[in-house]
Amino acid sequence: MNEITTTRHNPFIDPTLQVWNWEIPVYLFLGGMVAGMMIISGYFLFKGRHKEENCSCYYLPYISFVLLSVGMLALFLDLEHKLYVWRLYTTFQITSAMSWGSWILVLVYPILFVNILLRPPKMLTDKFPIVIEWQKVLLEKTSWIKNIGVLTMFFGAGIGLYTGVLLSSLGARPLWSSSILWMLFLISGLSGAAAFVHVIAKDAYERVLLAKADNAFLIIELFVIALFIIGLKTATEVQASAADLLLVGKFASSFWVFVIGLGIIIPLFIQLLAVNHKINHTPLAPLMVIIGGLILRFVIVSAGQYSHWFALN
């Protein structure tokens, strides 16, 4: 017998931690999507696809800009001391993943802006004609475009892995205490972004390419999830208990049904049929992948807060 009773009754701490609600999973999801879109867009720039009229590298920066801003709004809404948000930018705390993230997010905006300069909106060129000159300079130099592509991929990967590191740096929550969480969030972001771009791409080549890429990302994601679970199950007792929350515990139904089943396996099956010309491409599978990615963040954030060092004492 080992029975612990406590008189502590702090709101959102007891009986289980619930300090992060919808805002953080939404932010992590949108951050992952933006990461994936930046990597895809950067890859197309690197491969010189900007010469194609309908290349998605021309509109993905706009979408990324909007989604990143919505994500940062969600992060802002989560803050309890909102008026002090500027404090994030008066210091750089090298050991804090959140401090790294807040500075990376600030650096991403100029990168997106440079991407937007490749085909600036009329509103911008009307007001600032010099932007057209900048655009000309950029488009004339292939090596610059390649470098912009690499930089976009680099910062995209930075956001994607940061969303995982943010949680895994918090060792007090056994479920998050995994060195592979960043890879899971990065690959999930890539699969969500590939699914999204597959649906909206105007270019037929890109649509097919991204459907194939998404299938690869989904298969890799399954392997990464398996490694994540194996890593936890073979670690300490508290981490094994945390893995059980997903496998057989409180969060098992949402994990197996929505994340694994409806979020990965079924859309993978549908998309494999589509790329092999057995059925037509359908927006259903990408939609399932995107929603699955969102639910993955909700499950990981909620189950992580539920997991605890005291669970086995």
Partner 1 sequence: MVIDTTKCVGCQDCVIACQAENNVPQGFCRDWITTEAKGKFPTIEMEIRSERCNHCTDAPCISCCPTGASHYHDVGGVVLVNHDECIGCKACIASCPYDARYVHPEGYVDKCTFCIHRVEKGQDPACVSVCPTHCMHFGDLDDPNSKVSKLLQSRRNHSLLPEAGTKPNIFYLT
> For residue 277, is it left (φ>0), alpha (ψ between -120 and 50) or beta?
left
SS3 172: coil
Is the distance from CB of 71 to CB of 189 less than 8 angstroms? Answer: no
Q: From the list 53, 122, 171, 253, which residue makes contact with partner 1 (rule: CB under 8 A)?
A: 171
- Kindly indicate which of the ranges 47-55, 162-170, 198-206, 257-265 contains the residues binding partner 1, using the contact rule CB under 8 A: 162-170
Tell me how many degrees the CA angle 260-169-87 measures, rounded to the nearest 5. Answer: 115
Q: Which stretch binds partner 1 (CB under 8 A): 85-93, 138-146, 251-259, 277-285?
A: 85-93
**Binder of partner 1 out of 252, 273, 309, 311 (CB under 8 A):** 309
**Candidate ranges 4-12, 115-123, 227-235, 264-272; the one touching partner 1 (CB under 8 A):** 4-12
Should residue 240 be labelled a site residue for partner 1 when binding is judged by CB under 8 A?
Answer: no
- φ/ψ of residue 92, rounded to 5: -130, 115
**280 contacts partner 1 (rule: CB under 8 A):** no
Question: By CB under 8 A, is residue 77 in contact with partner 1?
Answer: no
Q: Which is nearer to partner 1, 198 or 308 (CB)?
A: 308
From 11, 123, 129, 278, residue interacting with partner 1 (rule: CB under 8 A): 11
Binding span for partner 1 by CB under 8 A among 65-73, 135-143, 163-171, 201-209: 163-171
Neighbours of 110 (CB within 10 A): 11
Interaction of residue 85 with partner 1, rule CB under 8 A: yes
**Residues in contact with partner 1, total (CB under 8 A)?**
47
Give the separation between CA 54 and CA 209, rounded to whole angstroms: 14
Contact 71, 98 (CB under 8 A): no
Position 208 contacts partner 1 (CB under 8 A): no
Sign of the alpha-carbon dihedral angle for 109, 111, 117, 121: negative
Our finding on whether 17 is near partner 1 (CB under 8 A) is: yes
Q: Which stretch binds partner 1 (CB under 8 A): 27-35, 64-72, 97-105, 270-278?
A: 97-105
Q: Is 238 helix (H, G, I), strand (E, B) or coil?
A: helix
- Is 187 in contact with 217 (CB distance < 8 Å)? yes
Q: Smaller CB distance to partner 1: residue 92 or 154? A: 92
Q: Are 186 and 207 in contact (CB under 8 A)?
A: no
Q: Does 22 help bind partner 1 (rule: CB under 8 A)?
A: no
Looking at 73-81, 145-153, 256-264, 279-287, which segment touches partner 1 (CB under 8 A)?
73-81
Interface residue with partner 1 among 69, 99, 125, 135 (CB under 8 A) is: 99
Cβ atoms within 10 Å of 159's Cβ, excluding its own: 28
20: left (phi over 0), alpha (psi -120 to 50) or beta: beta
Contact between 164 and 6 under an 8 Å Cβ cutoff? The reply is no
Q: Binding of partner 1 at residue 88 (CB under 8 A)?
A: yes
| CA distances (Å), origin 125, targets 32, 128, 148, 309, 313 | 31, 5, 21, 57, 64
Footprint on this chain of partner 1 (rule: CB under 8 A): 1-14, 17, 19-20, 78-82, 84-85, 87-88, 90-91, 93, 95-99, 102, 166, 169-173, 236, 305, 308-310, 313
